[in-house]
Amino acid sequence: MAQRTFSIIKPDAMRKNHAGAILAEIERAGFRIVAIKKLFISKAQAEGFYYVHRERPFFASLTQFMSSGPIIAMVLEKDNAITDLRKLMGATNPANADEGTIRKKFAASIEENAIHGSDAEDTAQFEIGYFFAGYELL
């Protein structure tokens, strides 16, 4: 059954003009773009988004990075969207990412790693609702 997930093209990929190439990979992999917008989030908004990581040593750096420039937030749909997007993204650290994955192609470091994708049903629901209103999800 079609499933929805949430994704962000992160500020590093935006700065390097990789947004179009990443979107092409996502569409080629069979995802439907349900909703999409470019926006600039504050550090406080990044902290709310990454609340689950608040105790991690990289929390301050990560939220600084995520508010350092524009991002593209999107909702994607396909069968097994959550797992399939995580596969397409590759490992968090691009040094460990498989050939052909988005992070292998476009990420520079474990933090500046080009793309976010929800890791489970409950986080996908939270993340979609954090950035999009119901009427935008058509």
Binding site for ligand GDP (CB under 6 A): 58, 61-62, 92, 110-111, 113, 116, 119
Cα 100 to chain center, whole Å? Answer: 17
Q: Which of 81, 116, 118, 127 is catalytic?
A: 116
Q: Work out how close the CB of 119 gets to ligand GDP at its nearest, in angstroms, rounded to a whole number.
A: 5
In this complex, which beta carbon is closest to ligand GDP, that of residue 23 or of residue 110? Answer: 110
Q: How far apart are CA 93 and CA 108, in angstroms?
A: 9
Q: How far apart are CA 82 and CA 26, in angstroms?
A: 12
In this complex, which beta carbon is closest to ligand GDP, that of residue 95 or of residue 136? Answer: 95
In angstroms, how far apart are the furthest CA atoms of the chain? 39
Q: State whether residue 46 is helix, strand or coil.
A: helix
116 catalytic, yes or no? yes
Q: Work out how close the CB of 62 gets to ligand GDP at its nearest, in angstroms, rounded to a whole number.
A: 5
* Residue in this structure with the two tokens 């991002």, named with its chain if needed: 71
In this complex, which beta carbon is closest to ligand GDP, that of residue 109 or of residue 136? Answer: 109
Query: Which residues are known catalytic residues?
Result: 116
